[in-house]
Amino acid sequence: MATIQLQGVGKIYPGGVRAVQGVDLQIAHGEFVVLVGPSGCGKSTLLRMIAGLETITEGTMRIGDQVVNDLPPQDRDIAMVFQNYALYPHMDVRTNMAFGLLRRRRFPSRLKALLNADYAAGRTKERADIDARVLNAARTLGIEHLLARKPAALSGGQRQRVAVGRAMVREPKVFLFDEPLSNLDAKLRVEMRAELRVLHRRLGATMVYVTHDQEEAMSLGDRVVVLKDGLMQQVAAPREVYGRPANRFVAGFVGTPTMNMLEGSLAAQPGRMVFTAEALQLEGFAQAWSTLGTTGPLRCVLGFRPEHVRLGTPGGAQAVVEAVEHYGDRMDVMLKIGSHRLVARTGPDVALREGASTTFSIDLQHAHLFEAGDAGTRIA
């Protein structure tokens, strides 16, 4: 079973820099897990530790039932797709894909094949198997017609497919992807994303995928691991990461445009909860929140997504429209209320003029509440 278990895994570089610490993570067989976070968060290091390209300085890592802490990459039965594809420039596509298998043949010697008929038969069959596997993978990826070319003669997307194909041919326990789409243009990236998803379903293999792009993470992963400064912030399905971010960082990191955050205090007033941020007063929170702030005003951060800000509601608060971004299917509107800035997402047909004022209201039923401070964890 190609499960991956990490227990208290950490990495301290010589010189004392902590890249990753205390990662506890269980990846089930056939699961697609995405490691996401800003650059320098340790996601690539963690992936490379799974691959065996970086040593593990703390904790235990198991692939299947085997502890792999001291196992070199060549013995871990994993395949990896690199950001820059890492295709061998001096070999054609076919050889690139078959390379790993060719180097590990049971019957490699041409000389022995000349002397021993059984050996020769084994060699021929082995070679045919490898060719079949390459062809199979190439067909799956739609790159059959490229097999005789060298990497330099391929486009970025084609190279990416070859790199994936090279991993597939090996039929490894685990696939590792290190930002494989970041060198592609936006359109192709979206296409390849879908293809990878399809591929995953088809192969049913365990895959670990690293990206800095939260959208990619959300669209690909069965589960998403959000990392920051070498620490896991949240491990959950994309829907939950979006709907119930574990802390202010995750809340801000996931979703475009980013979640609106207001720093202020929540206080219970008779029959209702009121959130005050300077001049702005908000109310109408979910029932569940009524137990909060009963012991006095609670310093906290209120978060709500742009799609929960409605514009032009009669009787709503006043705001100035600072800027409008049209996306065709929707608009993002920058609002200024006193000293606060909020982003609202609306349909494409609302008539708004930059510099004019408008009214707005917030659907606070879907709001999030975090502890005050940058690292504030979720309260409700």
Residue list 41-60, contact with another protein (CB under 8 A): 51-53
Only one residue has tokens 């019957």, namely 107
Structure tokens belonging to residue 103:
């180097």
Dist CA 115 CA 109 (whole Å):
10
The residue range among 15-23, 150-158, 214-222, 302-310 that interacts with another protein, by the rule CB under 8 A, is: 150-158
Q: In the bound complex, what is the minimum distance in angstroms from residue 58's beta carbon to another protein? A: 22
Residue 62 or 105: which CB sits closer to another protein? Answer: 105
Q: Which two tokens stand for residue 378?
A: 């979720």
Structure token pair of residue 221: 């992963």
Is 151 a binding residue for another protein by CB under 8 A? The answer is: yes
Choosing from 27, 56, 79, 344, the residue that interacts with another protein (CB under 8 A) is: 79
Binding to another protein (CB under 8 A) within 215-274 occurs at none
150 near another protein, rule: CB under 8 A: yes
In whole angstroms, how close is the CB of 156 to another protein at the nearest point? 12
* Least distance between another protein and beta carbon 122 (Å): 20
> Judging by DSSP bridges, how do beta strands 32-36 and 206-211 pair with one another?
parallel
Count the residues of the shown chain that bind another protein, applying the rule CB under 8 A.
27
Task: Give strand pairing partners of 331.
Answer: 326, 346
Nearest to another protein of 98, 282 (CB atom): 98
Q: Closest distance between another protein and the C-beta of residue 7, in Å?
A: 24
**Is the CB of 150 or the CB of 378 nearer to another protein?**
150
| 155 touches another protein (CB under 8 A) | no
Query: Rule CB under 8 A: which of 160-219 touch another protein?
Result: 166, 170
Nearer to another protein, 40 or 100 (CB): 100
Q: Is 104 in the site for another protein (CB under 8 A)?
A: yes
Shortest distance in whole angstroms from residue 19 CB to another protein: 17
Binding mask 59-78 for another protein (x = CB under 8 A): -------------xxxx--x
Interface stretch with another protein, choices 24-32, 148-156, 209-217, 329-337 (CB under 8 A): 148-156
- Cβ at position 189, least distance to another protein in Å: 20
Instruction: Tell me if 156 contacts another protein by CB under 8 A.
Output: no
By the rule CB under 8 A, 82 interacts with another protein: yes
Least separation in angstroms between CB 163 and another protein: 9
Cβ atoms < 10 Å from Cβ of 327: 9
Rounded Cα distance, 351 and 342, in Å: 18
Name the residues that contact another protein, by CB under 8 A.
Answer: 51-53, 72-75, 78-80, 82-84, 86-90, 99-100, 103-104, 150-152, 166, 170
